[in-house]
């Protein structure tokens, strides 16, 4: 599976962005998908994950109520809708795929290249 993330950019605090991650391969529907981020000078951290069916979704506490992960298996794409963005959300955002029920830092078989999100105050 090859992953290509897009949709990053510069936005003011309080604004919104929608990230997309397009996957190649016919087995996209068999994979859980996830979003991670890495802020300058920090390690990569988990943001959200969605199961292959979309029935199971998890978020890190800092984005609950502001971010929403979704997927379109027919389009082989996973999305991250980010609302009410804060300067601390500034990071490179990565998507990842895993054949298990979820994607974690230690359980991510495929990674995409990142897309930069910058939130100005």
Residue 121 is predicted with a pLDDT of 94
Contact 81, 101 (CB under 8 A): no
- Tell me the CA end-to-end span of the chain in Å, nearest whole number: 37
How do residues 35-91 score in pLDDT, each as one tens digit?
999 999 999 999 999 999 999 999 999 999 999 999 999 999 999 999 999 999 999
**For residue 112, which of 25, 36, 26 has the smallest C-alpha distance?**
36
Length of the chain (residues)? 121
pLDDT for 26 equals 65
pLDDT (tens digit per residue) in 11-28: 999 999 999 999 997 677
């Amino acid at each position: 599976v090859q992953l290509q993330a897009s949709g990053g950019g510069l936005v003011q605090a309080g604004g919104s962005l929608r990230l997309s991650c397009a996957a190649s391969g016919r087995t996209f529907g068999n994979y859980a998908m996830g979003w991670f981020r890495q802020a300058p000078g920090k390690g990569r951290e988990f943001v959200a994950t969605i199961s292959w069916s979309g029935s199971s979704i998890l978020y890190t506490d800092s984005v609950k109520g502001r971010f929403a992960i979704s997927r379109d298996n027919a389009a082989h794409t996973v999305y991250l809708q980010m609302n009410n963005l804060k300067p601390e959300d500034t990071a490179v955002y990565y998507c990842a795929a895993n054949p298990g029920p979820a994607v974690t830092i230690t359980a991510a078989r495929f990674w995409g290249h990142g897309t930069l999100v910058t939130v100005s105050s």
